[in-house]
Structure formats: structure tokens, C-alpha cells
């Protein structure tokens, strides 16, 4: 039986923000399927999170060819949810996928060649059960492939109708500037850039976000909660069910230092004065920048999505709050 979504899901128009200079509006919070949506995870929980997000107006679901584990299985999971619950609402959704990291054996299963990107997109569409995705990203720049070839492949994906918009991820400011110009010359302007950006990863502030504003490209921050560190999860040690506790491929226990915990506690005190959880303040802090359209949230349960959406109740920062946060982070 297909899911009957909440009739109130679009009751808050301020939930959406225009993506760069395009006609697309994205929800301020988008759901990333990087973790907890693979074949090793509970399908019932994955389904519950996707449907809860959609019921609250989150229309953007972010995937990549290698999301799982195993690689590809997050797309397969989302395909099942889409087919069984949301098929009637496909046109309400922004579905994105990417290619750029290691996916299959041999010289054509990684990086940014035309061969890899377009073959990967075909595989992703097959796993997703779709004729097209809304956004197709080059997941990372390839130092050994001309950017014209990589962007040419992304542009071809759009012109062939297998994607509606072009995106890039993990490109630095100079690479983004060049990619944007190449894509524009090819008639497929870059819609969006996905950088790693959080209170603990501020590199995009130095130049990249300025390029996005100048070029009219939307920004969508990934790991805005620093893979869970910008929450209350690690204040009293590493919980067994946390990312660092059971899947330390990306957030390792040694990253959670005494200094980080001290900063997290001080940031949490500021959040409480704002009437927010630390996670809510961290999301609001990322969304305050004019170069950022949306923030990608990851979740392991529905309650985390609900808590994250509470960030939207207070997105404004006083000057003294920002100064206090900068002091803690510096």
C-alpha cells in the first residue's frame, strides 16, 4: 500500500530556499542517505525515516553510487521505498546521486572519466528504478582527468535527459570557478555544490562560498553536525550505537578529543541560551551563510529528524552570539 503523506507537508513555505540563481527551491534541510540506508540496515527504519522526512516537507533525498554498505544498496533501498510508498509523488521529489569514488574493479570504476561517470549513472538509474535523477554530481575532482572531460560527462547526462541538473562536490574554490565556467559554456550551468562544512570544518568560508554566491550556484553542506560530534552524543563517552562506536570508518574515536569535548560543552551552553539543542544551533549556524541553500542531515532514527527540523524555528544569530562561537572555535 502506498504511503498517504501528510496534507500539511507544504504548510510552511519558509522551509524552502532558492538554489543559487535557478528555478529550483530546496528544503533548508535535506535528507542524506550516506549511512543507515544500506542492505546491512533495517529496511523498516530506513523507510520510516524517509516517510517521516517527506511528511514534514523534506523533498530532497541525496544519494551516491557508493552509499551503503555495500555500495549501491542505499539506492536499492530508496528504490523500494519510492516504488512501494512514494511512486505517486515522484514529481514532488528532488532525487540526487553522484559518481566519483571507488565503485567497481578495474581502471574505469573510479574518479572522473566520461566512461566511469556515465556508466555509473546508468547503474544508479537501474538501482533506483528511475528514468532520470534530478541532480547528478561529480563527487570529487579528478587530478588526472581534464576538467573539460568530467564536466562534459555531467553536461551530457543533463542533455541526454538522464539528469535534470548538474552538480559538483568536494571541489575547492578555484576548481569550482573553472567547473562553473566550463559547464556554462556547455549550456548546462552548475546548479549546486556540495562541500563539507560545519563549525568544525570552516574551510569553505575562506573562498568557496564566495565563488558560489558570485557564480549563482547553490550550496548544500554535508556533515554539518561533524558526523555527530556537534550533538550531545559524545559528552559522556562513546555510545555503543553511535557512529564512532560501531562504524569508525569516518568518525574515529581518536577524533573525539578532550579539547573537542570542551568546545562542544561550551557551544552547547550557547545553544541552551537560544532555546536550542546543540545540533539545532549547528544547523542554523551553517544555514546562516548566503552561499548555503540547504544542509544535509543524516539520521539513524525518526526522532533525530524531528529534532533537526527544530533548528528552523530559530535561524537568526545576534552578533554577540556569533562572536562567542568564533571564540570557542578559534
Split at pLDDT 50, 70, 90, the class of 244 is low
132 phi and psi angles, rounded to 5 deg: -155, 155
Instruction: Tell me the three-class secondary structure of the chain, residue by residue.
Output: CCCCCCCCCCCCHHHEEECCCCCCEEECEEEECCCCCCCCCCHHHHHHHHHHHHHCCCCEEECCCCCCCCCCHHHHHHHHHHHHHHHHHHHHCEEEEEECCCCCCCCCCCCCCHHHHHHHHHHHHHHHCCCCEEEEEECCCCCCCCHHHHHHHHHHHHHCCCEEEEEEECCCHHHHHHHHHHHHHCCCCEEEEECECECCECHHHHCHHHHHHHHCCEEEEECCCHHHCCCCCCCCCCCCCCHHHHCCCCCCHHHCCHHHHHHHHHHHHHHHHCCCCHHHHHHHHHHCCCCCCEEEECCCCHHHHHHHHHHHHCCCCCHHHHHHHHHHHC
Question: How many Å apart are CA 105 and CA 107, to the nearest integer?
Answer: 7
27-68: pLDDT as tens digits: 999 999 999 999 999 999 999 999 999 999 999 999 999 999
Split at pLDDT 50, 70, 90, the class of 8 is very high
Cell of 72: 549501491
Q: Are 292 and 209 in contact (CB under 8 A)?
A: yes
Domains in the chain, start-ordered, CATH in brackets?
17-227+289-318 (3.20.20.100)
65-108: pLDDT as tens digits: 999 999 999 999 999 999 999 999 999 999 999 999 999 999 99
Query: β-strands 218-221, 190-194: how paired?
Result: parallel
What is the model's pTM? Answer: 0.95
Amino acid at each position: 500500500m502506498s504511503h498517504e503523506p501528510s496534507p500539511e507537508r507544504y504548510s510552511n513555505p519558509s522551509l524552502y530556499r532558492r538554489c543559487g540563481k535557478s528555478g529550483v527551491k530546496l528544503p533548508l534541510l535535506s535528507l542524506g542517505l550516506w549511512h543507515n540506508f544500506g542492505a546491512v540496515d533495517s529496511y523498516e527504519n530506513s523507510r520510516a525515516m524517509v516517510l517521516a522526512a517527506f511528511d514534514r516537507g523534506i523533498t530532497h533525498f541525496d544519494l551516491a553510487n557508493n552509499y551503503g554498505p555495500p555500495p549501491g544498496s542505499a539506492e536499492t533501498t530508496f528504490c523500494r521505498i519510492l516504488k512501494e510508498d512514494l511512486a505517486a509523488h515522484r514529481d514532488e521529489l528532488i532525487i540526487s546521486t553522484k559518481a566519483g569514488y571507488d565503485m567497481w574493479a578495474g581502471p574505469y570504476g573510479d574518479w572522473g572519466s566520461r566512461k566511469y561517470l556515465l556508466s555509473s549513472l546508468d547503474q544508479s538509474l537501474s538501482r533506483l528504478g528511475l528514468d532520470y535523477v534530478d541532480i547528478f554530481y561529480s563527487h570529487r575532482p579528478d587530478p588526472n582527468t581534464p576538467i573539460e572531460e568530467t564536466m562534459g560527462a555531467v553536461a551530457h547526462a543533463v542533455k541526454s535527459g538522464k539528469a535534470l541538473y548538474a552538480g559538483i562536490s568536494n571541489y575547492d574554490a578555484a576548481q569550482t570557478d573553472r567547473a562553473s565556467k566550463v559547464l556554462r559554456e556547455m549550456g548546462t550551468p552548475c546548479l549546486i555544490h556540495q562541500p563539507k562544512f560545519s563549525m568544525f570544518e570552516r574551510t569553505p568560508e575562506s573562498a568557496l562560498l564566495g565563488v558560489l554566491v558570485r557564480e549563482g550556484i547553490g550550496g548544500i553542506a554535508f556533515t554539518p553536525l561533524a558526523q555527530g560530534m556537534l550533538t550531545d552524543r559524545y559528552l559522556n563517552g562513546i555510545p555503543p550505537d553511535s557512529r564512532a562506536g560501531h562504524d569508525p570508518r569516518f568518525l574515529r574515536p581518536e577524533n573525539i578529543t578532550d579539547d573537542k569535548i570542551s568546545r562542544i560543552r561550551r557551544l552547547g551552553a550557547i545553544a541552551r541560551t537560544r532555546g536550542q539543542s546543540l545540533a539545532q544551533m549547528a544547523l542554523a549556524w551553517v544555514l546562516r551563510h548566503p552561499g548555503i541553500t540547504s544542509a544535509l542531515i543524516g539520521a539513524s532514527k525518526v526522532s533525530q529528524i524531528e529534532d533537526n527540523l527544530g533548528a528552523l524555528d530559530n535561524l537568526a544569530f545576534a552578533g554577540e552570539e556569533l562572536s562567542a562561537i568564533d571564540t570557542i572555535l578559534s
